[in-house]
Amino acid sequence: MPDHDSTALLSRQTKRRRVDIGVKRTVGTASAFFAKARATFFSAMNPQGSEQDVEYSVVQHADGEKSNVLRKLLKRANSYEDAMMPFPGATIISQLLKNNMNKNGGTEPSFQASGLSSTGSEVHQEDVCSNSSRDSPQECLSPFGRPTMSQFDVDRLCDEHLRAKRARVENIIRGMSHSPSVTLRGNENEREIAPQSVSPRESYRENKRKQKLPQQQQQSFQQLVSARKEQKREERRQLKQQLEDMQKQLRQLQEKFYQIYDSTDSENDEDGNLSEDSMRSETMDARAGDSVGREDHPPDVAPPLQIPQARFAVNGENHNFHTANQRLQCFGDVIIPNPLDTFGSVPMPGATDQTEALPLVVRKNSSDQSASAPPAGAPPASPQRAPPESLDLTRETTSLRTKMSSHHMNHHPCSPAHPPSAAEGLSLSLIKSECGDLQDMSEISPYSGKKRFPLLIQSYMQEGLSPNHLKKAKLMFFYTRYPSSNMLKTYFSDVKFNRCITSQLIKWFSNFREFYYIQMEKYARQAINDGVTSTEELSITRDCELYRALNMHYNKANDFEVPERFLEVAQITLREFFNAIIAGKDVDPSWKKAIYKVICKLDSEVPEIFKSPNCLQELLHE
DNA sequence: CGGGGCCCTG
DNA sequence: CAGGGCCCCG
């Protein structure tokens, strides 16, 4: 570039100390942008396959086939059963398990020892037996649920004389404990002596069982083992049945919801504008082709095996190491939880108390964009609102939680009674009210999508920038000092962009640059003061003070390996400042402008992995 | 006119 | 880091 335009500019700027570099840093054609965005959305939102795949996982299980989803759910349920893990939030499953345990506890001594039974369990037991026998006749085949059997055994095996004698004694005892005056004290004594607080008749039978043990110990033990196995099988069968029923209901409700949803967005289809929503839809339609094309690209030579080595030092040719394999991890198993989580109004049998809050959360944030206020209608069923610190986790929590829910849900309570983190993200939105103009509101509405998958996408679209977005932006600064707004949209694809968000992101990078240049000037002057005379003496290494200052600012946790290229750029910048100051150019109020023009050309491509909404996890924790 | 950039301030 | 002012550019 000839200097004349910059000098003309400079003369104007002398009025005010301004050093705008005036470089237009964007902008591809709209089609280019859409093509890029398509790839982005595809890789980010549906890394694992086609539209059909997703739909399959949502709906297919309801046909009674053992889909992956059902298996996962069953696996969870079984793990609960095995661990007898109480589940905060009283999910249906936990309730079911609890009921089963109570049933068994009423008749099975070992369960009583855990304190689940109560007085009057005899009546309870019979009720359970008669009730459940209506549902499944086999319920009462269990030896523990069949008093006649043990009674028969005892009668057959005990000596007649002893039995009669014993019966008389026990009759007396029974009569005493049935009298109201001693009931209370008797029960208390029982609790002190033995944890199992059983009814008089139950203890009567207990005595008889103990009596027969010496003779029939082995047989009884085998019966016990087999019976417990049988019982577990039965429980599992019932749980499975229950889950299948629930899946059916869920499918019906989802279809119902989608019917309403589709009819709603058909109105939006008429505008025909290329809104971001429609763009997202097209994104999903075209993503498979993009995926193939991406794989055909040569700039993708890095094989998956190189991922560990290239994870941090992603300079040069290894930019695109974020392969399909890795993309696959981003949203591997989150399809199921999110429609329920975000649109929690889907009623679930036995868990109705959590269903009203979420639409309120969404609506509230759409309207007044309150930053951290709890939802207006928040029911007491979700008292554990995320503390302000969890702003850090808005999006990360989403992915984490969904991973948890698939693999080890017991570590993280994600029952419907808990506020879904997607909604947390919404409620913690940082958008300000003045940003919610009419155009933007259409994007905020959860019902503004066109198809089902934009719906799922929007489940992940944040309406504000979280601290993790800031962290990500800082890491991106190691690669690009002057990102275009379109680039930011591409790399923050989980954010619903509007003017405010764009401005905020641009402002962030402006602030980053400001700090960066201040540091550069500061250390350049310091070097001059230290007697440095040649730029050759100026180099930036990972243990130099300037680098530490920059690293502290953009990579505070020091959990990201700063790319080598950034060191080069920083060194160039430092030398530019050094030379300018040495040459006395700093007398010119806009002397930095020339430096800015140099530096803005040194941006390198940000690695593909930064397009993933989960990139922080993948970058920092893998 | 609006987007983007820098500077200054809090 | 955000707000506001000012400027340049398309």
CA of A67 and C1' of B3: distance in angstroms? 50
Q: In angstroms, how far is C10 C1' from A24 CA?
A: 9
Q: Which residue's CA is nearest to the C1' of nucleotide C9?
A: A22
A92-107 and A121-135 are packed helices; what angle lies between their axes, rounded to 10 degrees? 120
A502 CB below 7 A from strand B atoms = yes
What's the confidence (pLDDT) of residue A252? 63
Contact yes or no for A514/A474 (Cβ under 8 A)? no
Cβ pair A586, A576 in contact under 8 A: no
Contact yes or no for A471/A413 (Cβ under 8 A): no
- Contact between the CB of A182 and strand B at under 7 Å: no
The nucleotide closest to A593 (CA, C1' atoms): B6
pLDDT confidence of residue A250 = 63
- Angstrom distance, A339 CA to C10 C1': 43
Give every CB contact of residue A411 below 8 A, 6+ residues apart in sequence: A404
Q: Which of residues 207-226 of A touch strand B (CB under 7 A)?
A: none
Nucleotide nearest to A22 (CA to C1'): C8
Residue A383: per-residue pLDDT: 33
* Burial state string for A120-135 with b = 16 or more CB within 10 A and e = fewer than 16: ebbebbeebbeebeee
From the alpha carbon of A474, which nucleotide's C1' atom is closest? C1
Q: What is the pLDDT of residues A306-329, one digit of tens each?
A: 222 222 223 332 333 333 233 323
Straight-line distance from CA A20 to C1' B3, in Å? Answer: 14
Which bases of strand C sit closer than 7 A to a protein CB? 1-3, 5-10
Of residues A326, A456, A492, A495, the one with CA closest to residue A51: A456
Nearest-Å Rg of the Cα atoms of chain A is 34
Q: Which helix (H) or strand (E) holds A246?
A: helix A200-268
Distance (Å) from CA A498 to C1' C1? 20
End-to-end CA distance of chain A: 44
Coil vs helix vs strand at A462: strand
Spanning CA of A486 to C1' of B4, the rounded length in angstroms is 12
Q: What is the pLDDT of residue A584?
A: 92
Instruction: Indicate if CB(A53) is under 7 A from strand B.
Output: no
Pull the structure tokens for residue A390: 């969890």
Nucleotide nearest the Cα atom of A589 (by C1'): B7
Q: Per CATH, is A463-619 categorized as 1.10.357.20?
A: no
Q: In angstroms, how far is B10 C1' from A511 CA? A: 15
Q: Which SS3 state, helix, strand or coil, does residue A30 take?
A: helix
Q: In the numeric block, which tokens belong to residue A303? A: 């094989």
State residue A61's pLDDT score: 35
Q: How far is the CA of A149 from the C1' of B4 (A)?
A: 86
CA of residue A388 to C1' of nucleotide C2, angstroms: 19
Write out residues whose CB is closer than 7 A to strand C: A 5, 9, 12-13, 15-16, 18, 20, 22, 24, 432, 465, 470, 474, 504, 507-508, 511-512, 553
Q: Which residue gives the smallest C-alpha to C1' distance to C8?
A: A22
Q: Is the pTM of this model over 0.75?
A: no
Distance (Å, whole) CA A259 – CA A74: 28
Q: From the CA of A365, how many Å to the C1' of C3?
A: 23
DSSP designation for A245: H
Instruction: Say whether the CB atom of A14 is under 7 angstroms from strand B.
Output: no
Confidence (pLDDT) at A293: 31
Q: What is the pLDDT of residue A581?
A: 94
- Strand B contacted by A439 CB (< 7 A): no
DSSP 8-state code for residue A591: T
Write out residues in chain A with pLDDT < 50, as ranges: 1-17, 22-159, 161, 164, 169, 173, 175-218, 258, 260-298, 300-381, 383-454
Domain ranges of chain A: 463-619
Nucleotide nearest to A554 (CA to C1'): C1
Q: Any idea which nucleotide's C1' is nearest the CA of A510?
A: B5
CA of A18 to C1' of C6 (A): 9
Cα–Cα distance measured from residue A200 to residue A176, given in angstroms and rounded to the nearest whole number = 10
- Considering only residues 318-357 of protein chain A, which place a Cβ less than 7 A from any atom of strand B? none
* DSSP helix, strand, coil percent of chain A (3-state; round to 5): 70, 0, 30
Closest by Cα among A171, A183, A206 to A119: A183
Which single residue has its CA nearest the C1' atom of nucleotide B5?
Answer: A20
Distance A12 CA to C7 C1' (A): 9
- Integer distance in angstroms from CA A2 to C1' B6? 22
A3/C4 CA-to-C1' distance in Å: 31
* A19 beta carbon to strand B: under 7 Å: yes
Cβ contacts of residue A431 below 8 Å, gap of 6+?
A365, A369, A463, A464, A498, A500, A501
Residue A20 has a pLDDT of 56
A499 touches strand B (CB under 7 A): yes
Buried b (16+ CB within 10 A) or exposed e, A479-509: bbbbbbbbbbbbbbbbbbbbebbbebbeebb
d(C-alpha A422, C-alpha A432), whole Å: 19
Q: Which of residues 562-621 of A touch strand B (CB under 7 A)?
A: 592, 596, 600
10 Å CB burial of residue A30 (0-12, 13-18, 19+) is exposed
Q: Is the dihedral of CA A142, A147, A148, A154 positive or negative?
A: positive
